[in-house]
Amino acid sequence: MVVLLASLAPVFIILFYIYFRDKYDKEPIGLLVKSVIAGMLVVIPVLFVGRILMGIMPPMGKIGDAAYHAFVVAGTTEEVFKFLILYLLVWKSPSFNEKFDGIVYAVFVSLGFAAVENVLYVMDGGLQTAIVRAITAVPAHALFGVTMGYYLGIAHMYDELRKTYLRKAILIPILLHGIYDFILMVEIDWLLILFVPYVIGLYVLGMKKIKVLSDTSIFKPPAEE
């Protein structure tokens, strides 16, 4: 039970933080719960597609294998499915009426996924794994969600930027996620030295995006009948 709580604690801490950073118009609890549950359920198709992609992976050597797994199997599969969930679940919701809402919903979906992933890793690795992932993997998933939600929120608010920012909402999280996993998977000592600065960079950029959208209140008017 202690290990289970340790695996879920960082997820709930970040969820509460993002919820309370939504200053102007809180999102409905029911839709937030659906976002978390959808993020949890998306683990199933991610695992299914991931196995297919691993099965068709050609031999590419140590670096190529790590890049394929990091950017294609993990980064692309996970972030594309998270994006699809967001688009299907909240894009047309009348509750999605602020730029910051993109961050809120994206983080809730991302951390639903991270909760399941973290429980699986921590139940296998124990309390030490829980501590390490609490300051690395779980916040990283949240920050990938922040990035996706940042661009998604802007795309939702400004029609003239929609296509460009929807592309960014998919591609930039894939890139950030892929780099994160590649550093760990390639197992090159000098590259591992960059892991901590990279995670710190994710924190800095993510918090900046949160601040930029959290400090502005621009509501999207409801569509005319």
Under the banding of pLDDT at 50, 70 and 90, the label for residue 100 is: very high
pTM, to two decimals: 0.90
Alpha helix (H) residue ranges in 56-161: 61-67, 77-89, 99-125, 127-135, 137-157
Please report which confidence band the pLDDT of residue 222 belongs to, taking 50, 70 and 90 as the band edges.
very low
Query: Which pLDDT value is given to residue 38?
Result: 96
- C-alpha closest to that of 141 among 102, 96, 94, 173: 173
Q: State the average pLDDT for the chain.
A: 89
> What's the pLDDT score for residue 219?
54
Residue 224 is predicted with a pLDDT of 37
Interval 85-113 mean pLDDT: 94
Domain residue spans in the chain? 2-19+26-214
pLDDT in tens, 148-195: 999 999 999 888 889 999 999 999 999 999 999 999 999 888 888 999
What is residue 217's predicted lDDT score, i.e. its pLDDT?
58
Token representation of residue 184: 């760990």
Determine the pLDDT at residue 84: 96
Q: What is the per-residue pLDDT for 220?
A: 54
- How far apart CA 166 and CA 75 sit, in angstroms, is 17
| pLDDT 10s digits, 25-61 | 889 999 999 999 999 999 999 999 999 998 888 888 8
- Share in percent of the chain as helix, strand, coil (round to 5): 80, 0, 20
127-135 vs 2-21: helix crossing angle, rounded to 10: 20
Backbone dihedral region of 61: left (phi > 0), alpha (psi from -120 to 50 degrees) or beta? left
Least confident stretch, 1-15, 33-47, 63-77, 202-216: 1-15
* pLDDT band at residue 221 under the 50/70/90 scheme: very low
What is the pLDDT confidence band of residue 223, given thresholds at 50, 70 and 90? very low
Residue with tokens 């930027």: 161
Residue 21: how many other CB atoms lie within 10 Å:
16
pLDDT, one tens digit per residue, over 105-142 is: 999 999 999 999 888 888 777 777 778 888 888 999 99
C-alpha 143/C-alpha 111 separation (Å) is 10
Model confidence at 225: pLDDT above 80: no
Distance from C-alpha of 76 to C-alpha of 67, rounded to nearest angstrom: 12
